[in-house]
Amino acid sequence: MPYHEFECSKCIPERKKHAVVKGPGEDLTHALPLGYLNTIPGSISERGCAYCGAKHVIGTPMKDVIHLSHGPTGCTYDTWQTKRYISDNDNFQLKYTFASDVKEKHIVFGAEKVLKQNIIEAFKAFPDIKRMTIYQTCATALIGDDVDAIADEVMEEMPEVDIFVCNSPGFAGPSQSGGHHKINIAWIKKKVGTVEPKITSDYVINYVGEYNIQGDQEVMLDYFKRMGVQVLSTFTGNGSYDELKGMHRAHLNVLECARSAEYICNELKVKYGIPRLDIEGFGFEPLSSSLRKIGLFFGIEERAQAIIDEETARWKPELDWYKERLKGKKVCLWPGGSKLWHWAHVIHEEMGVEVVSVYTKFGHQGDMEKGIARCEEGALAVDDPNELEGLEAMMTLKPDVIFTGKRPGEVAKKIRVPYLNAHAYHNGPYKGYEGWVRFARDIYNAIYSPIHQLAHLDISKDEIPTGAGFQTAKMLSDVNLSEEVVSSSILRQYTGKYDSVSDLRQKTYPEFKQ
């Protein structure tokens, strides 16, 4: 597995060990990109900071909490309304964000007093919310404010409130991953075990590393409820603060995004003996196998099987419609962390696309191990990519579509590569059986967009087809398909609704005897 040297990064030789090509017959012991190392200054990396890793990625999806950042307003503003983690309480956590608004005088004289005033003001403004998380930022970490002491003081004075303090300033680590780690460890140390939850089932799990992007968590919760499994807490998407304090009473930790949340699972295993089961909500086979494993663990595998059979029968013909049309399309799978391994193999197997490159903005070597293990030979794997490397890779690999973040997606657009949002999704959720079809549908719509085809034409030079007033995606995608596929009475396009989540909130579930 040779290291891959980008032309644009020859002058920064330390980058060489951050990219490899998966060679034929080679395995992970031949080469592995370096990971989670300090970023090279000035390289125009895509990484964020440890504050955002704690506050924006993991903290804020908790839905019934005042999220207060102790610092100037910028950190708060910048990490507000840039994600799609919804909740079933009217998106309180999306709509409201709080900053202690530290100003110059506070930097000089200390900001603890203003923090305390802030806490009281915030609770006063939202009298129904009794929980708060306070996030340290660079400025207040550097001036040495004792946030924990202030939180304790307030909790003493206001016994009805509970405050969690997360000390993860922006500089605390090479990337947002530093913040994932800090908030995981802080939560288990400070909050887990302080509430005794009500147990209503013989089968109790924590759903960990799931952020309810466009409703992912609610889709998965639907399956768990249909199995009669009690989800004690979700860490943290659509999750509730008090429920998360009772994590220690679960029988099983079911882990999705190991990158951001394996720490708490590992600690729960050590401290409370709760097993960690890594599962996947993406893709028919991985999801089915995950549900089955949970079923097996509790001895209710037949309940899992019923769901698997029903959902597969309902949605597989739709997935396969897209698979026929996506076969062989080249994909750059360039997400932040976990999706590089969640998706690398299953999009190949279930949608027929070829993953020509994976990258991770903030992943560790463990993520690369999983990602490289799961992609096919020849794929280019890059750790902490930067602007020029991304461009070079796209120019060389000529992908048909790229899965990445919003801003890098704009870069791809300009070199005429369609993009899908790997973090927030286009029209998600992407988890669950239906979600996986939605993902396939989005990929299909991106690749076969008639406008995308027009972007490649130069009206001053090229021969311009003038006979047609329009084209459809299907006209483009079905050109080379066999008659059998085109006129199949089994395969069909996606038939779900624009909003596939809200209805789940009204659903009732069978009662299982305890």
Interacting residues of 346 by C-beta distance below 8 A, sequence separation 6+ = 280, 282, 283, 285, 286
Q: Which of 4, 45, 165, 209 binds another protein (CB under 8 A)?
A: 45
Q: Which of 60, 87, 93, 100 binds another protein (CB under 8 A)?
A: 100
Q: Is 407 or 513 the residue whose CB approaches another protein more closely?
A: 407
Site for another protein in 399-418 (CB under 8 A): 405-408, 410-411, 413-416
Binding span for another protein by CB under 8 A among 317-325, 426-434, 436-444, 450-458: 450-458
Q: Is 6 or 321 the residue whose CB approaches another protein more closely?
A: 6
Asked whether the beta carbons of 424 and 213 are under 8 A apart, the reply is yes
Burial class (CB in 10 A: 0-12, 13-18, 19+), 309: exposed
Q: Report if residue 458 touches another protein, rule: CB under 8 A.
A: yes
Q: Which of 65, 244, 257, 274 binds another protein (CB under 8 A)?
A: 274
Q: Which whole-number Å values give the CA distances from 497 to 96, 274, 287, 435, 494, in the listed order?
A: 29, 38, 21, 11, 9
Q: Report if residue 474 touches another protein, rule: CB under 8 A.
A: no
Q: Which of 258, 307, 379, 420 binds another protein (CB under 8 A)?
A: 258
Per-residue interface string for the shown chain with another protein, residues 15-44, x marking contact by CB under 8 A: ------------xxx-xx-x-x-xxxxxxx
Q: Is 121 or 482 the residue whose CB approaches another protein more closely?
A: 121
Q: Show the beta-strand stretches assigned E in 325-456.
A: 330-333, 354-360, 380-383, 401-404, 419-421
Interface with another protein: number of residues (CB under 8 A): 122
Site for another protein in 49-68 (CB under 8 A): 49-52, 68
Q: Which of 88, 202, 278, 478 binds another protein (CB under 8 A)?
A: 278
CA–chain centroid gap for 352, Å, is 23
The span from the CA of 514 to the CA of 510, in Å, is 12
The span from the CA of 274 to the CA of 256, in Å, is 16
Asked whether the beta carbons of 323 and 352 are under 8 A apart, the reply is yes
The span from the CA of 93 to the CA of 59, in Å, is 10
Binding span for another protein by CB under 8 A among 138-146, 153-161, 317-325, 489-497: 138-146
Per-residue interface string for the shown chain with another protein, residues 158-187, x marking contact by CB under 8 A: -----------xxxxxxxx--------x--
Interacting residues of 45 by C-beta distance below 8 A, sequence separation 6+ = 39, 361, 384, 385, 386
Site for another protein in 312-371 (CB under 8 A): 341, 345, 364-366, 369-370
The span from the CA of 253 to the CA of 277, in Å, is 6
Q: Which of 195, 199, 277, 397 binds another protein (CB under 8 A)?
A: 277
